[in-house]
């Protein structure tokens, strides 16, 4: 039977002494593993800043927080992929509302460090602000600051300047570690102010390194991991540490490296990204066991997947998803995928579960690694425009189940169960006697069969490539469930009644049987339900989703506490929101999102979002009498289920009108191509050695952009020489990331354009560095004596992520050599890249285009003398052309409108465009490569009530006509919510008088 909170506390009190510092104590602290006697009981309260000290221990089943079992149901998001702090809270609140109790975040070194010894944690980089928001939202934080993070970001997160320094990265090289220590000092100075153990915040776990598998069996690898561990501890981080193994390899298990004598502070975790075409793997209880079996590599720590696939990334050209983009990722890794794979994980005892990604966001500016384009939507449950997709349903129902039903925190493998056409997992809770069955259909046809259970054979239907979870003997407050063919979603006490919710697919029949030694009083509150009492059992059935939420009240009998049964399908269940307040628990049904709830006397105050027409229903403590929704009191009535329900329907979010884009002005640039351009302020490329892994051509200067301090975006070269009389051909060797490009001019005359190939799925989709030599014939009329200038523009894209720890992030970017056929002139090279980093947007916002250096992308730039043009455009030239316009939005303050920019043109036309919104580089469009055509414009950068400046920097090849073609604003989503009019200003100070303001309600400057 279930344990009451009082009984649980008494049993857990003595056990807690055995793991008071389990996993997080100082040197010599004892392991928490011995605390196996901790019984099943209520989960810890949602985390918050309370000033109290907390313990974090563990055993083989789960984490133990203050002596209570915690199943971690976490989602990954990256603040650096949403450069608008006002929106961080929005995503965090959506995660909490939809069942997550933790958020996992990378902290990207390159995002915070523009130069050696320089670190920026202000504005959009305010890690302290994000951690405060997470605590205010009630989410634990899994912090992952690297120093290497991969994350499909430039250089795997290593700053650009690190490529030009001494030292071998991801080893115990002292030169490298000196930089690492400086970085971790900066991060940990912030992190230790937010440790859950200290009651200062909600950081629960801390990761060092990332998928590190190159030097596992070498001293330099072990010493490196040991150094990171000791450094983090020395900086005052006292929560459990971990590393994410790059698959099921058994690397970096407890005891595999020196932790300075500390025991019990290290967790083993591994990452997994199984394809939807695979059979879900067993990485725990039901697996093969051993070091390569997943969780069995560390049998004394809980099963932990720091990254489990919530989608997948897509390369330039869209090879992974046949050019269909992230919509195809979301289709192939849909709700059924989540049920099959995530339920398999839970059955295998993986109780620390992080979904990568839950919100992918945008790899804006020059942030993306070579293997991805701008969008990092990932096919995640929350899309790039912050819209909750259908994929949220399994996350929502499983997350709330794991938080509200403690039986799932301690499950053992039970007797084998077989059912025709299904793979069945059977587990039991040793304390409560609850049985859990996961029935998985890996076939292409629906399976209907009988499932043998301890409560008898149950009829079950599982659709093709889907799974279902059933329970028997589950405590529902004071009563006990015999069995139910629908999945439990939650069980909680609200006011003076217990509420249990069950979910499944639309139209499925939920057959529920309660053990009832005495006949109860049953009230069918919705017409779809039916019930019968027979032989000490109450039978209830309801078709899921038909008519919306179905309610059945069970009263009296063997318990004086009423039990309200709720039946919902997926679409209905995601509108059910439990919420804990200091005055008691609430359960809310109806809105698209519940952000916050509180009780003020007899008033229930709720804030949230509405998309479609809906009512709102609230169950809460006895005495609630009125409902305030988003600051307005709404008429209500008391229902027979004891809830407070609106008497009318709340209206759907109104339409949002977006303006057509017009008033474009144009100006061509690249004066650097002309022979008389003044390049005297450019750096002379005269270095003879480099720390790059790319060899320097013998007897020739280093031309690598990073060696001259230019780390992001485009770079220009001008080579001056005397006498071109005999030159027949110029060969330019260059190295870039995926889809790099080179343009060359001789004395202002175009020689041609060369670009790297589009990656393919089988061989090059993961390729990080591309090398090529562009050979251009020199026309006869250019072969003259005298001074000549060879001008070269290289769009070098980004750096390799160095996943194999070979220093490949140091591969050259830009020109590597220049050769001439027919002559050997002495060339003096000068190089120019990006200007000083933008103090607000950071170093990754801008490259070295002339217009960027001159501020053509910024609001307020005087463009009245530019030529007026209309779209679509069709011109043929080699080089850079800028287009600018402004537009005004007037979105009401209580409407959250997600807006994108969509570009379309003849796919044959070879050109690309950098998109600048109010000075922010929101990504790169490549017309003839794709697959991305719509770019999200985040609110805060986008002024939804004000004037916006849009600039396009178009690089066009001479081989085809170039656009832009059709350019328009696109509404990606809308919701009615609270007034989001809070404003503050980030001012971009530059050497020019014009500037940009970013407005965000969550940080005051």
Per-residue pLDDT tens for 691-705?
A: 999 999 999 999 999
Regarding beta strands 530-534 and 497-504, do their DSSP bridges make them parallel or antiparallel, or are they unpaired? unpaired
Which of 375, 377, 379 is closest to 335 using CA atoms? 379
**Which tokens sit at 640?**
């027979």
CA quadruple 94, 98, 99, 105: dihedral sign: negative
- At residue 989, the pLDDT reads 30
The angle formed by the CA atoms of residues 207, 208 and 209, to the nearest 5 degrees, is: 120
Q: What pLDDT does 208 receive? A: 98
Instruction: Report yes or no: 781 and 769 within 8 Å, Cβ to Cβ.
Output: no
Residue 606: strand, helix, or coil: strand
Q: Is 307 a catalytic residue?
A: yes
Phi, psi (rounded to 5 degrees) for 327: -60, -35
Distance, in Å, from the CA atom of 522 to the CA atom of 555, rounded to the nearest integer, reads 6
124 by DSSP, 3-state: which?
Answer: helix
pLDDT at site 978: 80
Residue 741 · residue 819 · CB < 8 Å: no
Cα dihedral value 861, 864, 866, 868, nearest 10: 120
Enter the pTM of the model: 0.95
- Do residues 670 and 882 lie in contact, with contact meaning Cβ atoms separated by under 8 Å? no
Q: Residue 148 CB: number of other CB atoms within 10 A?
A: 24
945/312 Cα distance (integer angstroms): 35
Q: Which of 76, 152, 209, 307 is catalytic?
A: 307
Q: Rounded CA gap, 518 and 520, in Å?
A: 6
Q: Are 395 and 380 in contact (CB under 8 A)?
A: no
Spatial CB neighbours of 781, under 8 Å, sequence gap ≥ 6: none
Distance CA(174)–CA(169), nearest Å, equals 10
Tokens of 811: 């591969």
**Which residues of the chain are under the pLDDT cut of 70?**
1-36, 979-1005
52 in active site? no
DSSP state letters, 158-220: --GGGGGSSS-TTS--HHHHHHHHHHHHHHHHHHGGGBGGGTSS-EEEEE-SSS--SSTTSHH
Q: Rg for the chain (alpha carbons), in Å?
A: 30
* Cα(596)–Cα(607) distance, integer angstroms: 5
From 76, 152, 211, 852, the catalytic residue: 211
CA 900 to chain CA mean position, Å: 19
Location of structure tokens 């991305």: 932
Q: For residue range 305-360, what is the model confidence (pLDDT) as tens digits?
A: 999 999 999 999 999 999 999 999 999 999 999 999 999 999 999 999 999 999 99
pLDDT value for 37: 73
The pLDDT, as a whole number, for residue 20 is: 34
The runs of H, that is alpha helices, within 241-333 are: 326-332
Q: Which residues pair with 777 in a beta bridge?
A: 729
Q: What is the pLDDT, as a whole number, of residue 979?
A: 63
DSSP 514-566: EE-SSPPEEEE-STT-EEEEETTEEEEEEETBTTB-EEEEEESTT-SS-EEEE
Q: How many Cα atoms are found within 13 Å in the side-chain-facing hemisphere of 81?
A: 31
């Amino acid at each position: 039977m279930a344990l009451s909170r009082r009984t649980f506390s008494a049993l857990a009190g003595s056990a807690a002494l055995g793991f008071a510092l389990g996993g997080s104590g100082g040197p010599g602290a004892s392991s928490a593993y011995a605390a196996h006697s901790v019984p099943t009981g209520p989960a810890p309260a949602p985390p918050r800043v309370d000033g109290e000290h907390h313990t974090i221990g563990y055993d083989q089943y789960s984490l133990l927080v203050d002596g209570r079992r915690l199943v971690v149901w976490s989602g990954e998001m990256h603040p650096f992929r949403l450069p608008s702090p006002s929106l961080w809270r929005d995503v965090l609140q959506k995660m909490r509302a939809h069942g997550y109790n933790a958020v996992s975040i990378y902290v990207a070194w390159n995002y915070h460090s523009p130069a050696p010894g320089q670190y920026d944690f202000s504005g959009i980089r305010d890690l302290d602000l994000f951690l405060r928001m997470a605590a205010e939202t009630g989410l634990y934080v899994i912090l992952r600051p690297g120093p290497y993070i991969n994350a499909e970001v430039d250089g795997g997160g290593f700053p650009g300047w690190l490529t030009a320094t001494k030292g071998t990265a991801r080893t115990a090289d002292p030169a490298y570690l000196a930089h690492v220590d400086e970085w971790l000092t900066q991060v940990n100075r912030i992190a230790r102010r937010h440790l859950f153990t200290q009651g200062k915040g909600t950081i629960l776990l801390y990761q060092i390194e990332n998928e590190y598998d190159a030097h596992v069996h070498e001293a330099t690898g072990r010493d490196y991991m040991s150094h990171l561990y000791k450094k983090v501890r020395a900086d005052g981080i006292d929560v459990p540490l971990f590393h994410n193994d790059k698959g099921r390899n058994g690397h970096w298990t407890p005891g595999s490296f020196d932790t300075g004598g500390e025991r019990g502070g290290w967790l083993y975790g591994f990452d997994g990204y199984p394809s939807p075409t695979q059979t879900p793997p067993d990485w725990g209880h039901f697996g093969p066991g051993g070091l390569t079996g997943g969780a069995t590599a560390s049998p004394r720590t809980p099963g932990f997947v720091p990254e489990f696939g919530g989608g997948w990334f897509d390369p330039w050209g869209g090879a992974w998803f046949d050019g269909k983009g992230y919509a195809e990722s979301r289709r192939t890794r849909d709700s059924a995928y989540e049920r099959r794979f995530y339920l398999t994980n839970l059955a295998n005892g993986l109780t620390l579960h992080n979904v990568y990604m839950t919100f992918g966001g945008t790899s804006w500016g020059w942030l993306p690694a070579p293997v991805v384009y701008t969008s990092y939507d990932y096919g995640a449950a929350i899309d790039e425009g912050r819209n909750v997709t259908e994929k949220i349903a399994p996350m929502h129902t499983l997350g709330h189940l794991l938080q509200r039903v403690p039986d799932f925190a301690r499950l053992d493998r039970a007797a084998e169960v077989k059912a025709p056409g299904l793979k069945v997992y059977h587990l039991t809770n040793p304390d409560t006697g609850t049985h859990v069955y996961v029935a998985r259909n890996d076939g292409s046809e629906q399976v209907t069969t009988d499932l043998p259970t301890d409560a008898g054979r149950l009829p079950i239907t599982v659709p093709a490539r889907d799974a279902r979870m059933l329970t028997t003997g589950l405590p529902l407050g004071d009563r006990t469930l015999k069995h139910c063919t629908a999945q439990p979603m939650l069980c909680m006490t609200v006011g003076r009644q217990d509420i249990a919710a069950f979910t499944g697919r639309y139209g499925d029949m939920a057959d529920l049987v309660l053990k009832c030694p005495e006949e109860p009083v049953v009230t069918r509150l919705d017409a779809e339900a039916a019930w019968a009492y027979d032989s000490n059992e109450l039978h209830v059935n309801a078709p899921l989703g038909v008519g919306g939420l179905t309610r059945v009240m069970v009263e009296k009998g063997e318990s004086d506490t009423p039990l309200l049964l709720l039946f919902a399908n997926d679409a209905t269940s995601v509108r059910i929101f439990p919420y804990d307040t200091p005055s008691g628990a609430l359960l809310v049904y109806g809105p698209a999102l519940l952000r916050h709830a509180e009780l003020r006397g007899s008033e229930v105050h709720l804030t949230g979002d509405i998309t479609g027409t809906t009512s709102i229903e609230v169950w809460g403590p006895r005495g609630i009498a009125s409902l305030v929704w988003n600051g307005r009191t709404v008429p209500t009535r008391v229902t027979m289920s004891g809830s407070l329900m609106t008497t009318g329907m709340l209206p759907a979010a109104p339409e949002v009108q977006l303006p057509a884009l017009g008033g474009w002005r144009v100006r061509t640039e690249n004066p650097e191509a002309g022979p008389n351009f003044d390049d005297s302020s450019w750096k002379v490329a005269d270095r003879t050695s480099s720390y790059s892994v790319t060899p320097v051509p013998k007897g020739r200067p280093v031309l690598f952009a990073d060696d001259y301090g230019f780390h992001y975006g485009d770079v220009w070269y001008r080579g001056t020489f005397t006498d071109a009389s005999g030159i027949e051909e110029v060969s330019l060797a260059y190295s870039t990331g995926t889809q790099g490009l080179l343009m060359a001019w001789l004395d202002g005359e175009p020689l041609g354009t060369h670009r790297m190939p589009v990656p393919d799925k089988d061989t090059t989709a993961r390729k990080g560095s591309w090398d090529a030599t562009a050979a251009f014939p020199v026309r006869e009329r250019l072969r003259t004596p005298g001074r000549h200038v060879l001008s070269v523009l290289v769009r070098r894209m980004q750096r390799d992520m160095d996943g194999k720890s070979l220093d490949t992030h140091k591969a050259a970017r830009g020109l590597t050599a220049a050769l001439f056929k027919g002559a050997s002139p002495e060339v003096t090279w000068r190089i120019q890249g990006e200007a000083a980093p933008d103090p607000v947007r950071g170093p990754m916002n801008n490259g070295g285009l002339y217009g960027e250096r001159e501020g053509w992308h910024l609001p307020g730039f005087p463009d009245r003398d530019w030529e007026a043009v209309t779209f679509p455009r069709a011109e043929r030239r080699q080089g850079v052309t800028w287009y600018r316009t402004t537009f005004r939005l007037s979105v009401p303050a209580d409407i959250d409108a997600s807006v994108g920019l969509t570009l379309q043109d003849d796919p044959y036309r070879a050109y690309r465009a950098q998109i600048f919104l109010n000075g922010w580089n929101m990504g790169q469009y490549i017309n003839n490569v794709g697959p991305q055509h719509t770019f999200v414009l985040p609110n805060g950068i986008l002024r939804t009530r004000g004037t916006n400046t849009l600039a396009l920097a178009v690089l066009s090849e001479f081989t085809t006509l170039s656009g832009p073609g059709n350019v328009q604003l696109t509404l990606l989503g809308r919701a009615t919510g609270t007034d989001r009019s809070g404003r503050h200003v980030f001012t971009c100070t530059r050497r020019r008088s014009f500037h940009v303001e970013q407005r965000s309600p969550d940080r005051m400057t």
